[in-house]
Amino acid sequence: MKKSIPLIALWLMALPAVAEDPGRVYENKLTPLKDPEPILADHPEFFQPIVEVARYEAPTLVQDENADLSVRAWRWSYNARGIVEMPNFIDASKTAIVVVHPWGIDDDNGWISPEPAGVAFNCTPIKNEMGHRQQREVLDPFLNRLRGKVKYVLHSLPGKEDPIRAKIYRSLDLEI
């Protein structure tokens, strides 16, 4: 019993220090959105705009001190039976953009997709061209607009470069 009294006293002395800085408390509250615009509607030639009857906004998730970049995240919630959107305000100078390239399969045809259906990327030459056009018209301007503002713009390369990946993915190590 004597040993527990000093521990309780120490714990009680620490309580005011904890109470002084409560930190940030996230309020998990959903607010229904009335007549929201469809998600991904700015490029309907590449993406089917997402229209959902039940849409909600959650409180801000990330609020950096020197925020200069607004990012609106969204996800489907089975509990809410709808899409939950979360505004985020982040410091671009502490942010990385990672472009994840779709997986490819080496079929010994090099950069030429076999007809009638390819085995890599978007599977057909027509879909591959649409994917390339989307990269040129949407992704590249987006990345160029943020270069110099964000800390890093990175592109993924799944695994270490080996002879197969060297054929499929462009890299700085590629010797031509």
Confidence category of residue 172, pLDDT binned at 50, 70, 90: low
Residue 29 has pLDDT above 60, yes or no: yes
Q: What is the mean pLDDT of residues 14-42?
A: 79
How much is the mean pLDDT over the chain? 79
Weakest mean pLDDT among 5-19, 38-52, 70-84, 155-169: 5-19
Q: How far is CA 27 from CA 3, 12, 32, 57, 85, in A?
A: 39, 28, 15, 12, 14
pTM of the model: 0.65
Rounded CA-CA distance 29/143 in Å is 33
Q: How far is CA 10 from CA 5, 14, 19, 71, in A?
A: 9, 6, 15, 44
Cβ atoms of 39 and 83 within 8 Å: the answer is yes
pLDDT at 30: 95
Residue 143 has pLDDT above 80, yes or no: yes
